[in-house]
Amino acid sequence: QKEVEQNSGPLSVPEGAIASLNCTYSDRGSQSFFWYRQYSGKSPELIMFIYSNGDKEDGRFTAQLNKASQYVSLLIRDSQPSDSATYLCAATTGGFKTIFGAGTRLFVKA
C-alpha cells in the first residue's frame, strides 16, 4: 500500500516564527510532490510543488525534498494567523496516481 504520512498535529507556532511541516512517502517511484493548504470548510489549494532534490522557495514558503530519505517538508517563514489551516502533502506515484496525506493542522498564535 503506497502511503504518504504526516503528523496530524496540531502544530502550534507563535506569529512571526517558522513553521516546519514534514511528510514521508513510501513509494520510491514517486516523482512529484505537492503541498496544499486547506482552510476549514474549504477545498484544498495548491501552495507549491517540487520535483527535484533540494529546496524550492516561493515567497514565505520553502519546499524541501530528499528522495534518498523519502522525505518532503514545507517551511513557512514569518508565520501569520492567516496561515492557520490544514496542510496536505501529496505524492504522485510512478503510475501517475496522486496519494494524499491526512494533513497536518497548523495553528499560528497572534
Residues that bind another protein (CB under 8 A): 32, 34, 36, 41-46, 49, 88, 90, 92, 96, 98, 100-103
Nearer to another protein, 62 or 87 (CB): 87
Asked if 103 and 88 count as a contact pair (C-beta separation under 8 A), the reply is: yes
Q: How far is the CB of 54 from another protein (least distance, A)?
A: 19
Q: How far is the CB of 64 from another protein (least distance, A)?
A: 19
| Positive/negative CA dihedral, 90, 67, 23, 39 | negative
